[in-house]
Amino acid sequence: MSFTTRPELIGTFGMVASTHWLASASAMAVLEKGGNAFDAAAAAGFVLQIVEPHLNGPGGELPVVFYSAREDRVRVLCGQGVTPASMTIERMRKLGLEVVPGTGLLPAVVPGAFGGWMAMLRDYGQLPLEDVLSYAIGYAENGYPVLPRMTSSILAIKDFFRTEWTTSAEQWLRDGDAPMPNQLFANPAIANTYKRILREANTRRDRSEQCERAREVFYHGFVADAIDQYFGSTAVLDTSGQRNRGLLDAGDLARWEPSYEDPVSYDYGELRVHKTGPWGQGPMFLQQLALLKGFDLAAMDPMGPDFVHTIIECSKLAFADREVFYGDPAFAHVPMDVLLSDAYNDERRRLVDPRRASLEFRPGTLGDSERRAARIMALAGKEQFGGFGQGEPTFAPLPELRGDTVHLDVVDRWGNMVSATPSGGWLQASPAVPGLGFNVTTRAQMFWMEEGLPSSLGPRRRPRTTLSPTLVTRAGKPYAAFGTPGGDQQDQWSIQLFLKHVHAGMNFQAAADSPSFQTAHFPSSFYPRAMHLGKMSAESRFPESTLAELRARGHDLTVAEPWSLGRVCAVGIRNGLMRGAATPRQMQAYAVGR
């Protein structure tokens, strides 16, 4: 094989893997201080908001899948905010819109990350809130080294900041220009916001009451008031080419609370894989497994065309179902029991031609799915308005290398395990809110402005996001946690890590190091929702014979740069030893442990 096979990091005290070294180091410091995996995960999450602001921020969202050793069970924490109560298709169309803009104030939903972290710390943490927040506050106040991708993100939009989003220019430009890579950069406004919240929280002695008080200050206090005032009084230019005010107000924040749910789970051999509900794309990971279990993947070379082709073709079927069936289950019936059933997948598996790539969009035929599919195909095929923000919101019009989220995994010496994929609140997606130093997530762009679809736009609904942390158990006990940034690619890159571990015997580090691939055979989850039937990419580290055979089978193949696809992190626990892995791609993800 032509890729590295580095060993996993191994320890017995605790293990952290995340998409930034400072987040991994901060989480490990919390474990050393006596905190548990929940404290460490929150500390890492808050640090990631500061040091990777082009990928997530304080105004973003948070899905978590975790195992509690105290409760001996897996749960999902939903820190995904909902649309404003006044956001309807009719109201948006009166503004002259056919799709939800990708940027600005209009596509904002309730920022759920802060409430999610506070709920998890309140219910499962061990340390005082100040011990958890101090790392993020320190970096925001005193500075952190700027990543090259942060610089390129700001450079691409600095003129727009100067002329249109002047509040963002105040936060992200220094002397009128973008900060340069490896310079020390501080965000004093964010530090002051968190210090003000912490002062209020510290008026409570009990640590759980501190977390609840902090949540109240954010969603019922000065943070909500600042968002309400700015969104209601200011019209800003967005991807529609219009200047629009936001619909989000203080009442929307006050009504929302994070929630706990049971995971959606699937048994694959002796392992059980746990994901969020279909308000995220996570269950499609399980749908891929349900299809793939009918193939002899162990007999396939993971560098060969059969392995790649089989996974790509099953992914196409799972993605088609995602588009037609997934949405907020509080507003849409999502037949997960059918979608994961043997009978359904035995039938769907027959659609996979081992020698030919499909060029069709083929969801399952359940209920009125054919009508839904026809509408989605028509919508995805429309010629949308262009301009700033087109494509995945975090990287257009930036260079091709993408990533729009962060990820972290933690396991501690008590056996708690956490997998989280924070995202949203990207510095380039909407203008900073005056007085807070950060902006608000634009996830409403993931809705269809079309009635009768599971992910149709409507009031107080969770967008069907791409955020997809993963937790695996064996015999009911934690085995692994992993995930990656990457939008629609998350459950493609992650499943490759899992399958290579299970069927090719690779440790997580070797699996993360191995060449990756992906398909774009579905409507993008992001504005302007384009789709590319038959399109796939594979890293150039695959053998030329594999790439040639994929083309021969009809795949519209783009050969990507080496080490360019995927940012997978993982932790595990087996035989009393904790294990960690982090991708070398982009040279900033780290696994730390002892």
What six digits make up the tokens of 70? 């105290």
Distance CA 11, CA 29 (A): 15
Residue 388 DSSP label: T
Reply yes or no on whether the pLDDT at 274 is more than 70. yes
- Rounded to 10 degrees, what is the CA torsion of 543, 545, 549, 551? 70
Q: pLDDT tens for residues 54-86? A: 999 999 999 999 999 999 999 999 999 999 999
Q: In the beta sheet, which residues pair with residue 174?
A: 177
Q: Do residues 511 and 496 make contact, with C-beta atoms less than 8 angstroms apart?
A: yes
Residue listed under structure tokens 């009125």: 368
Distance CA 167, CA 187 (A): 13
Q: What is the pTM of this model?
A: 0.95
Which range, of 174-183, 194-203, 524-533, averages the lowest pLDDT?
Answer: 524-533
Q: In the beta sheet, which residues pair with residue 73?
A: 68
Q: Do residues 282 and 334 make contact, with C-beta atoms less than 8 angstroms apart?
A: no
Q: In the beta sheet, which residues pair with residue 426?
A: none
CA-to-CA separations, 326 to 111, 374, 382, 465, 582, in angstroms, rounded:
21, 16, 21, 10, 30
Distance CA 287, CA 320 (A): 11
User: Beta strand pairing status for 62-68 and 9-11?
Assistant: unpaired
Q: In the beta sheet, which residues pair with residue 560?
A: 539
Give the DSSP per-residue string, 442-472: -GGGGSBSSTTSTTB--TT----B----EEE
Q: pLDDT tens for residues 492-513? A: 999 999 999 999 999 999 999 9
306: CB partners within 8 A, 6+ apart: 300, 354
Distance CA 104, CA 223 (A): 18
Reply yes or no on whether the pLDDT at 528 is more than 80. no
Between 527 and 306, where is the model more confident?
Answer: 306
Q: 3-state class of 524 per DSSP?
A: coil
Q: pLDDT tens for residues 393-449? A: 333 333 333 337 999 999 999 999 999 999 999 999 999 999 999 999 999 999 999
User: Comparing C-alpha atoms, which of 62, 19, 20, 57 is closest to residue 38?
Assistant: 62
Q: Do residues 326 and 298 make contact, with C-beta atoms less than 8 angstroms apart?
A: no
Distance CA 495, CA 142 (A): 39
> Mean per-residue pLDDT for 29-43?
98
Reply yes or no on whether the pLDDT at 24 is more than 60. yes
User: Beta strand pairing status for 417-420 and 9-11?
Assistant: unpaired
Backbone φ, ψ for residue 322 (5° rounding): -55, -45
Domain range annotation of the chain: 33-261+422-446, 265-384+468-593
Per-residue pLDDT band at 388 (split at 50, 70, 90): very low
In 52-157, where does DSSP find H-type helix? 89-94, 113-124, 129-142, 148-155
What six digits make up the tokens of 137? 């506050």
- Tell me the one-letter amino acid at 391: G
The neighbour count for residue 308, using CB atoms within 10 Å, is: 27
Reply yes or no on whether the pLDDT at 125 is more than 80. yes
- At residue 381, the pLDDT reads 58
The neighbour count for residue 175, using CB atoms within 10 Å, is: 5
Distance CA 509, CA 416 (A): 21
- At residue 4, the pLDDT reads 61
Reply yes or no on whether the pLDDT at 152 is more than 60. yes
Q: pLDDT tens for residues 455-495? A: 999 999 999 999 999 999 999 999 999 999 999 999 999 99
CATH match of 265-384+468-593 with 3.60.20.40? yes
- At residue 295, the pLDDT reads 98
Residue listed under structure tokens 């849409």: 332
- At residue 237, the pLDDT reads 97
